Structure formats: structure tokens, C-alpha cells
Amino acid sequence: MRIPKETIDILKDQVFAFDTFFVTSQEPYEGGVLFKGNLRGQAARSYEKISTRMQNKFDDEYKLFLLINPEDDKPVAVVVPKTTLQPETTAVPEWLAAGAFGLVTVFTLLLRNVPALQSNLLSTFDNLNLLSNGLPGAFFTALLLGVHELGHILVAKSTGVKLGVPFFVPSWQIGSFGAITRIKNIVPNREDLLKVAAAGPLAGFSLGFVLFLLGFILPPSDGIGVVVDASVFHESFLAGGVAKLLLGDVLKEGTPISVNPLVIWAWAGLLINAINSIPAGELDGGRISFAIWGRKASARFTSLSIGLLGLSSLFNDVAFYWVVLIFILQRGPIAPLSEEITDPENKYVALGVLVLILGLLVCLPYPFPFNYDSINTNF
């Protein structure tokens, strides 16, 4: 579908103007027209003026985008017929597919918390009664997943962003990789995208950190808890730092330690939040990096993140599966926003950066020894 020449002339002469966007040239663009020129004033204000004029001239026939041209980093305006923006239909209803994924995720959450079944997955079907032992751990991990998604939903509702049904991704290593949630409409601007993308991880990290701290403070209900080697806390900078701060000299290299299972359950939830905060593709972290630094920088972050995950996959099977998942389902690109030029407010940028830093702290190892006696004995 092409926009008639008469319509293009009206757009150039009556819709775009000296006070908003002075057109110098135009070219066909995916069924619409891409206008190059000079943006006047603030992008958000100019977008509002142009949209109002276009609405008065053509009702709801066309959709306007103000974007950054990746070739020269200059603003461009794109006008396309709204009929070209109709959402794709799927053969299987979204809620049905999401329900199937959810059931499998419930199973993997239970399985992940029953070590006796993890060594032989096929034996699970002969010992389904053992899955009930995984209920407490599955509940707390599912609670963190639910709070994460609820954060997205509440902020999306307040910003007018429509979200699809979340598809929970099962994982036999950590129970779940989180959820894939499709954005169903066109997001107005980068600030709204940032709010929605950061809300989920912030909610998940907040509750996860509180539960993680409680796990160290509260004694195990059975008096024994879970016995782990102290070296396990080297796997996360955040977990290792908190464990050293709260346990002090009790935490020694090579020494088994008993902890409340809540520590492990909350840690799993923090890890799931951290994985979704990786700045790649359409993950929460990818959307955050796009919203803060723009499309070109976001593409570079995606390439860097996938490269680092690829290297990590040589030593960690969770990283391998996450690389595959990003390539198949989440590599993007992120759909165009109505207006991509205006930067978000600094307070929202700070929240987005906080999410990225928290994700990094959870994923990076703790490099320092827990007790320096072990170093001295080696000399």
C-alpha cells in the first residue's frame, strides 16, 4: 500500500511546518513515507503538534513516528497507513499457549526443589508424590515471578501500554527463566518503555532481597535447614557480599554451613530477575538500555551481552540455554516507538541503571576470600 502523492503534498505543506519539522526530502518506507528534514523545538512538543494536524486532516488513517535515522543520527519522520500496523494473528490462542507453558513451569519449579529427582528425570513420573516436597521452594520462586510480572502490569496500565499474556519459560536448572511478555500496542516514547521495563525487575529484586535477608535472620523451621559448602556463595557478588556481612567469621572456605532454605529460594528468584535484566534484545534489560541510550547503543549492548553469554556457556549450561532463548525468542529488534528522540527524565534513568547494576551484581562471582586464614596457610 502506497500513500497517494496528493496526501504526501498535504503532509509536507500543511501538516509538517517550519514550527515543527521542516521537510527537505522524502522517500518510500515500508508502505509509507520517510521524511528527512530539520526538527524544530522539543521533539515531544513537535510530535504532539504534528499528530494533531494529521488527525484533523486524515482522522485515524495514518500513524506518525519520530525516529532517529541510524545512518546519520538525525531525526526523521515516518508516516504509514494504520492498516499496515495490524497485529499478527496466531493459530493457537495466546492464553492457551501461555497456560501450557505455565503448567510446564510449575512442574519444573517443583522439580528444581526436589534434589532426589534431579539426577534421574524419568524417575519423576514414578515418584510424583515426591514433588510435594518441592512446594515451599516452588511457592517462593513463583511468588517472586508473580511480583515481577505484577510490576510490569501495574506500570503498563498507568502508562497506557498494553501487554500480552506472560509466557513463563520453564527451566530444569533454576525452575524458570522468567516470562516473555509481548507489548501489543505502540509505546508512546522511551520514558514510558523505561518505566514498564524497569518496574518488573525492581519489584522482583526488592522482594527477593528482603526474603534473602530474612533467610539469614530466621532459623530453619526444622533446626537443620540446608547444608551447603561456603564456596557456593562465591557464585554471586551480591549473595557472597551479603553472606559475608551477616555471617562474618562463620563463613569459611571449604566449610559446610547450614542456612534457612529461604536463602536458596530467594537467591533463585534474584537470579531469574538478573537474567531478565541482561541488556540484550527484548529482555527487560534490553528494553531498559534502549530506553536510556537509544536504538544504536542498545544493539551494541545486545551484541556484547550475547558474546559474553556465549563465552560463559562454555562453563555454565544456564548461560548456554539463555543464549539460545534470546536468539530464538527475544533478540528483537524492539518495535518502533511513536517518538524515540526525547530522553527519559533522569530519575527514571537512575532506576533503569540501578536494575542493570543489580543484575550484574547477582550474576558476577564474588572474588574475595571469605577468611584470610586460608591465604596465610598457603604461604
Identity of the highest mean pLDDT range in 22-26, 27-31, 83-87: 22-26
State how far the Cα of 245 lies from the Cα of 165, in Å rounded to an integer. Answer: 40
> Above 60 in pLDDT, residue 377?
no
Which 3 state secondary structure label does DSSP give 356? Answer: helix
The string of pLDDT tens digits covering residues 335-376 is 899 999 999 999 999 999 999 999 999 988 999 988 765 544
Question: Grid coordinates standing for 78?
Answer: 515516518
State how far the Cα of 36 lies from the Cα of 289, in Å rounded to an integer. Answer: 26
Cα 46 to Cα 50, 159, 345, 355: the distances in Å are 6, 20, 18, 31
Q: Report the percent of the chain where pLDDT is more than 70.
A: 88
pLDDT-wise least confident of 4-8, 59-63, 256-260, 332-336:
332-336
Alpha helix segments (H runs only) across the chain: 5-10, 43-58, 94-112, 115-118, 135-159, 190-217, 237-247, 261-276, 284-293, 295-312, 317-325, 346-363, 373-377
The candidate with the shortest Cα–Cα distance to 137, out of 113, 107, 169, 105, is 113
Confidence class for position 172, pLDDT limits 50, 70, 90: confident
pLDDT-wise least confident of 95-109, 186-200, 256-270:
95-109
More confidently predicted of 352 and 182: 352
Residue with cell string 504509514:
80
State how far the Cα of 168 lies from the Cα of 101, in Å rounded to an integer. Answer: 6
For Cα atoms 219, 223, 226, give the angle at the middle one, nearest 5 degrees: 80
112-120 mean pLDDT:
67
pLDDT, position 308: 84
* Domain 5-84, architecture per CATH: 2-Layer Sandwich (3.30)
For Cα atoms 366, 112, 332, give the angle at the middle one, nearest 5 degrees: 70
Asked if residues 117 and 124 have their Cβ atoms less than 8 Å apart, the reply is yes
282-287 mean pLDDT:
93
Sign of the CA dihedral 333, 334, 338, 343? negative
pLDDT, position 373: 58
The domain ranges of the chain are 5-84, 97-363
* Residue type at 198 in one-letter notation: A
State how far the Cα of 340 lies from the Cα of 117, in Å rounded to an integer. Answer: 49
More confidently predicted of 321 and 41: 41
Identity of the highest mean pLDDT range in 172-176, 268-272, 328-332: 268-272
More confidently predicted of 178 and 89: 178
* Residue type at 353 in one-letter notation: V
Confidence class for position 75, pLDDT limits 50, 70, 90: very high
pLDDT, position 129: 65
128-149 mean pLDDT:
85
305-314 mean pLDDT:
80
203-223 mean pLDDT:
90
pLDDT, position 314: 75
More confidently predicted of 284 and 254: 284
More confidently predicted of 370 and 131: 370
Which conformational region is residue 258 in: left (phi greater than 0), alpha (psi within -120 to 50 degrees), or beta?
beta
> Above 90 in pLDDT, residue 317?
no
